[in-house]
Amino acid sequence: MQYSEAIDWLFQQFPSYQNIGKSAYKPDLGNIEQLCEILQINHSHLKYIHVAGTNGKGSTSNMLSSILMEAGYKVGTFTSPHLIDFRERIAINDTLIPEDHVISFCKLVQEQHLNFEPSFFEITFAMALKHFIETSCDLCVIETGLGGRLDATNIITPILSLITNISLDHTDLLGDTLSKIAFEKAGIIKTNVPVVIGEYHSDTIQIFKEKAIRSNSKFHLAYEEFELEETNNYKKINERTVKCCIKQLNFLGFTISDNHISNGIINLLKNRSFVGRFQLIQQNPQTIIDVSHNEAGLKKTFELLKKIEKGRLHIIFGASSDKNLKDILVLFPKNASYYFTVFSSNRSCTKQELIEKSRNTNLNILFFDSLEETTRYTKTIVNKEDTLLITGSFFLISDFIKLFSLKRLQK
């Protein structure tokens, strides 16, 4: 079996939320528990940080891993989705899981002739646990997929839990109010395990506190423990949350200095190859890629953009078909020129859907059938002194990176 064959099998054999959306979501821990039992994956001795939230999970997870690397620890990191290569989901320090490990794990699962159908995410998480056990990680940073309470990753017992924030996203799966979503995310709070809350809302804080009290979990609000001058800068908010987590890890016996923290943040891209989070990739024109894909994330993106935009503002935008564009589009700056496009995933809004959902917005929008077509056009219209933002979806940024080379983006 070749690596490409293993990946094809993974995506075809097991439904993937990344590819098909909500029908792949399996809110149940039975499959992953059964899978670990069959494959003899005894994960209870590993130490974990468990990360949930609506936005910022990937940023805080990778930041934590980078800082721990600077402190000399061997760190396993499990995140999703991937942008280019499946192996981005599973890494030890700065090294992605080897292709032959992916192949051997897929073969191992095939040999079991399972009488149940685990999801793509469940299979992937089991693969990560096995890899982290075999490499004897000092600490593993585990990002939830969707929710928390019934997320496959919730079979672990961490030494520290983290909930970044709560906003409305995946409401068809997690609930249509902040309180309902908070209840699902609070499911990662475990008995006698401290929990850090990055941001909170009046509708969510009481839910977190009550769960922490029932679980006898020490409760830490990042904003109370660390001051922040730029309260509307989501990168700084994520850093504050991470610093609060590091403070708790030091209490738990780890040795992480202020220098490790600052170096981990500075070297995030080098340590974790972490791209696509309001990332400036070119100066002339000023070009930014950002994976924000819901109302709360895009609101913060536009707040950051106001501080740095120059010249005329151009925005390439694509969205998954399950997003509520009505609430999202009201956030868009009125002074920009927009290029709405379709990305390669079958979850993308079609061109016709984008046209219909953006009626009566009073935005200056052109519509395209592909990102390649869009960028060909914007090259003719965007001047060197202008600002270009590409945003709206992980899938869109993935397509962009494939078009313009990952190596160039990492420089």
Given a cut of 70, is residue 245 above it in pLDDT?
yes
pLDDT at 230: 64
Sketch out the chain's domains with CATH numbers: 3-272 (3.40.1190.10), 279-409 (3.90.190.20)
What are the residues facing 290 on neighbouring strands? Answer: 391
pLDDT at 411: 42
What is the distance between the alpha carbons of residues 135 and 305, in angstroms, rounded to a whole number? 41
- The mean pLDDT value for 315-327 works out to 89
Q: Residue 317, SS3?
A: strand
Tell me the backbone φ, ψ of residue 134, rounded to 5 degrees.
-65, -25
DSSP string, 42-80: --TTS-EEEEE-SSSHHHHHHHHHHHHHHTT--EEEE--
Q: Which has the minimum average pLDDT: 105-119, 193-207, 226-240, 249-263?
A: 226-240
Closest CA to 37 of 135, 99, 116: 116
What are the residues facing 196 on neighbouring strands? Answer: 162, 220
Sheet holding 286-290, edge to edge: 279-282, 286-290, 387-391, 313-317, 337-341, 364-368
- The mean pLDDT value for 32-61 works out to 94
Sign for the pseudo-dihedral over CA of 242, 248, 250, 253: negative
Please provide the average confidence, as pLDDT, over all residues in the chain.
89
Residue/partner pairs of 376-385 with CB below 8 Å, 24 or more apart: 377/339, 378/314, 378/316, 378/339, 381/314, 381/337, 382/285, 382/312, 382/314, 383/285, 383/311, 383/312, 384/284, 384/285, 385/284, 385/285, 385/310, 385/311
Given a cut of 60, is residue 322 above it in pLDDT?
yes
**Which H, E and C letters describe 70-125, residue by residue?**
HCCCCEEEECCCCCCCHHHHEEECCEECCHHHHHHHHHHHHHHCCCCCCCHHHHHH
pLDDT tens for each residue of 63-97: 999 999 999 999 999 999 898 899 999 999 999 99
Tell me the backbone φ, ψ of residue 341, rounded to 5 degrees.
-140, 165
pLDDT tens for each residue of 169-185: 544 455 558 888 888 89
* H/E run at residue 367: strand 364-368
Q: Which has the minimum average pLDDT: 134-138, 139-143, 321-325?
A: 321-325
pLDDT at 169: 55
What is the distance between the alpha carbons of residues 126 and 198, in angstroms, rounded to a whole number? 28
DSSP string, 217-283: --EEEHHHHS--S-TT-HHHHHHHHHHHHHHHHHHTT----HHHHHHHHHTHHHHH----SSEEEET
Say if CB 118 and CB 63 are below 8 A apart. Answer: no
Given a cut of 70, is residue 227 above it in pLDDT?
yes
pLDDT at 21: 46
pLDDT at 176: 59
